[in-house]
Structure 1
Amino acid sequence: MFNLLALNHIRHEAVRHLFVVIRFYTMAAPPPAYRVLLSAHCNRVRCEPDWHLGPDWAPRLRDYDLWFVSAGRGRMLTDDGEFALTPGVGLWMRPGRRYEATHDPAAPLVVNFFHFTLNEPPRRFTPPAEILRTAHPDFIEAMMRRILTLRAKSIPSAHTSANALFGALLGELVRETTARAPAVAAPGLDQHHREIIQHLVAEIREKPGAVRTVAALAKTAGYSVDHFSRTFEKITGQRPQELIISARLARARQLLAETGLTISQIAETLGFRDVFFFSRQFTQRTGQTPSAYRAALSP
C-alpha cells in the first residue's frame, strides 16, 4: 500500500521528469539547415589506468567526435593549449586539429563519446565552439545515457530519436558555453580559480563520503573560507556545503536502490555524523524517509 510520503515522492518525480522534457523541447538546437547523424561509434567508457590519447589518434579522425567527461581527472592538449578534463567538460572534436590527453590513474576518466556527421552543413562550416562546459552535468549525463540506449537499438525510429536528442543536446552545450564564454575564457588568475574549483567538484562527486569540511577544502585550494565559498558559488552556482549534501544524497539514493546496505551503513559510508541526521537530511530533500524511499522501489 502506498503511504502518503511515497505518493508525494512519485508526484515529485513526475514533475521533475516533466521539467526535463519541457527543458529539452525548449533548448537551443543546431541551425535547422542541417541535421546531426550519429554513427555506430558511440559509447560510455571508463579509461584504463595506463590509458592515454596519443598524437597518432587525431590525424585519423574523419568525422566529428563529441567527448564529454562524466568523472575523473585528466589533461587535454589541443592546438590552442592545455586544459583540465573534469566532469562537465566536453570537446567538439573535428578533423585536422590536435588532441592529446592523459588522466590520473587514481581518478580515471569516465567519458561519453559520440561520433557524428552533419547532413548538408552550411558551406565552409566551422563548429562554433571546441571546448564545451556545462553547469548541469547531471542533466547532460542523463540525456547522453538515453541517447546511447536509443542508438543501441536496431529500430530505425530509435535512431531517429537518438539523432534528434543528440542534436538538441549539442545545441544546448554550445549555447551554454557561448553564453558564459567571457567567464570561461578569462585569462590568468580567473582561469586558475576555475580549474581549482572544478577539480574539487570532481572529487566531491566521485567520493561524496570522503569529502572533508568546507574549511579543509578551502585550505586545499589556498583560500580563506569566505573567499573559497564565494568563488565556489560563483563558478558552480551552489555553496560548497549544498553541493556536498546533494552529492551525498544522490549517492544515498543509488545505494538504497542498488544495494542491501542498511540505512546506518549508508549514513556511515557517506560521512553523515549519525543515522538520524542522515534521515532528516534525506527526508527534507526527497519528501520521504530512506526506509520509505527504498520500500517504494520494491515491486
Structure 2
Amino acid sequence: MHIHRIVPKPSYPLYVCYPDMFGRYAEFPLHEERRESGALQEYNLHLVFGGSGYAVGHGGERVELKAGEGFLYAKEAFQQYGSSRSEPWDVRWIHFTGALPSGILRAADEAGAWLFSFSGMTRIRELTDRMYELSDPFGLESEAAISALLYELLVHLDQDTESLTGAATLRKRNEIREAADTIRGRCQEPWDIARMAELTGYSPYHFLRLFRDVMGRTPNRYLTECRLLEAKLLLATTGLAVKDVAERIGFSQASYFIRVFRGAEGLSPSAYRELHGRHGHS
C-alpha cells in the first residue's frame, strides 16, 4: 500500500495545526530518508503499525522501531530513518505545522527528535483513514475537518505516548484510564479506594498515587464529579424527587447529596432544576 497525499496551504490562516502532506506506506521497503538540518520546515510524525525499521535519535543513536512505536522530528531538525528491507514498516506519517501547547511538540522542539511508544492504535487508524478520505479528492470544504482530525490525533498522542524507556509508565496510565471509565459508567455503585484499586491490581496506596497523577484529582473526587454529572442530567431531564435522584446516583442521604451539590455548583439541586429543567431551557 502506498498512500501519499499533498494538500494545498489552507485558505484560513488561524488553524492551530495543519498538514502539508501525509500518507501510509505498507510493504514499501524503499521508505528511507536522510535530511540535513534546515531541509524540512514542518514537523515529521511517523507512527509504526507493523514491520520494523529505525530512526536516528537526538543523540545520534540508531534506534530500532516496531509496531506501537514512532518518532516526531522537529521543524528544521536533522532526520534519518528507514524501513527494514526484509520486514517493511506499515507506517502512517504526517508532515505538519502546529502552534499548540503540546507536550510531544515541546519534546521534539527541545531535542530535535522524540522517539516514543504509543497506544490507541484503533483510534489513530480511524483518524488517519478519515484524513485520507477527505483528501481524495481534496476540496476547500475539507480544510476544517482535516485540521480538526490532526488536532485530535496530536491531543491523543499527547496523552498516550511515552518515551521508549517509559513503556511501563504508558501501560500504567492506560490502566488508570480504563479504571476511570469503569467507575464513571458505574458511579452509582458503592465504591471505596480498595474496590477501585482492584480494577487495576495495584495496592490502594499505589492506585491512589497513580490515579492522582493521571487524572489530576483523587479517585473519590473523581467519583463525586461523575455522580454530580449524572445528578445534573436527571434534574434537567426528569421529574424525579431530589431524594430519588440522590439515591439513584449513589448517595445514601439526600441531605448529604444536597450539601455536596451546593458546594460544587453554587446552588441547590432544586434551584438547578429550576434553571435548567424541563421548561424549554436550552
TM-score normalised to structure 2 length? 0.50
Note the residue ranges of structure 1 that are not aligned, 5 or more in a row: 1-24, 35-77, 96-112, 122-158
1:272 correspondence with 2:260: no
Partner of 1:226: 205
- Aligned residue-pair number: 173
Partner of 1:90: 123
Deviation at 1:239, TM superposition (A): 1.7
Q: Within 2, Cα distance between the matches of 1:188 and 1:179?
A: 14
Distance 1:186 1:267, change over 3 A: farther
- Between structure 1 and structure 2, the one with the greater Rg is 2
Q: Within 2, Cα distance between the matches of 1:114 and 1:279?
A: 47
Q: Within 2, Cα distance between the matches of 1:194 and 1:242?
A: 18
Of 150, 154, 157, the residue aligned with 1:171 is 150
Note the residue ranges of structure 2 that are not aligned, 5 or more in a row: 1-12, 22-48, 51-66, 69-117
Partner of 1:118: 135
Distance 1:229 1:189, change over 3 A: same
Partner of 2:183: 204
Name the structure where helix makes up a greater proportion of residues: 1
1:222 partner SS = coil
Deviation at 1:242, TM superposition (A): 1.6
Structure with larger RCO (C-alpha < 8 A, sep 6+): 1
Please list, as runs of the form range in 1=range in 2, the aligned pairs for 1:151-166 lying within 5 A after superposition.
166=145
Partner of 1:141: none
Distance 1:194 1:180, change over 3 A: closer
Deviations 1:208-256, CA, capped at 9 Å, x for gaps? 1125112221234222222111111222222211211111111111111
Distance 1:116 1:294, change over 3 A: farther
| Residues 204, 211 of structure 1: 8 Å contact kept | no
Distance 1:92 1:26, change over 3 A: farther
Name the structure where strand makes up a greater proportion of residues: 2
User: What amino acid is aligned across from residue 243 of structure 1 in structure 2?
Assistant: Y
TM-score normalised to structure 1 length? 0.48
| Residues 279, 290 of structure 1: 8 Å contact kept | yes
2:250 partner SS = coil
Of 237, 242, 252, the residue aligned with 2:221 is 242
Percent identity at matched positions? 24
